[in-house]
Structure 1
Amino acid sequence: MANGRLIADELLTIDEVLEELKGVARSTFFRWRQQGKAPRGIKYPNGDVRIRRSELERWLTSREEVAS
């Protein structure tokens, strides 16, 4: 636990999210956000966006496909 929050719920910057998504362009990620297809984020009053790690993991899990 860090600062009263679970590590699993750390707030990630867009750059940190893109690092985990390997190969996804920043412009693609923001297009996904506009289309409502990206993980939910927290938008600060200054315009910065943070994504909870747990939300990123949930979003990735929801996109898993079963091999056929």
Structure 2
Amino acid sequence: MPAHRPARLPQRESSNALSAAESPVPEDLLTVDEVCARLRITRSTFNDWRAKRCAPPCVRLPNRQLRFRRSALERWLASHEEASA
């Protein structure tokens, strides 16, 4: 006769876990190459902008790679629009 196994209880989510609305979806985070392609600039131009602190805001991942929130890039672009004369 098989041993009786207790019913499995559903696991509770951790209270410190981010909800889906709070955590960025991977496609919302752009790489440096994707940003350079979007802005039609070279990587060296991007690096110059970073050195001058005039590049779009970014997120530094634990592995030290940079990512850009699509919404932050759009705001950055809008802030650099010139009014027509």
TM-score (norm 1): 0.80
Which structure ranks higher in relative contact order (CA pairs < 8 Å, sequence separation ≥ 6)?
A: 1
Structure (1/2) with the larger helix percentage: 1
- Tell me the matched-pair count: 64
CA distance in 1, matches of 2:58, 2:51: 12
Can you list the C-alpha shifts for 1:20-62, whole angstroms capped at 9, x where unaligned? 112x110111111111101111112322100000110010000
Say which SS state the counterpart of residue 29 (structure 1) adopts.
Answer: helix
Matched, 1:10 2:28: yes
Tell me, which stretches of 5 or more residues in structure 1 are unaligned? none
Tell me, which stretches of 5 or more residues in structure 2 are unaligned? 1-18
CA root-mean-square deviation: 2.1
Of all paired residues, the percent bearing the same amino acid is 45
* Rg larger for: 2
Matched, 1:57 2:74: yes
Offset of 1:17 from its aligned partner? 0.7
TM-score (norm 2): 0.66
- Runs of 4+ with >4 A deviation: none
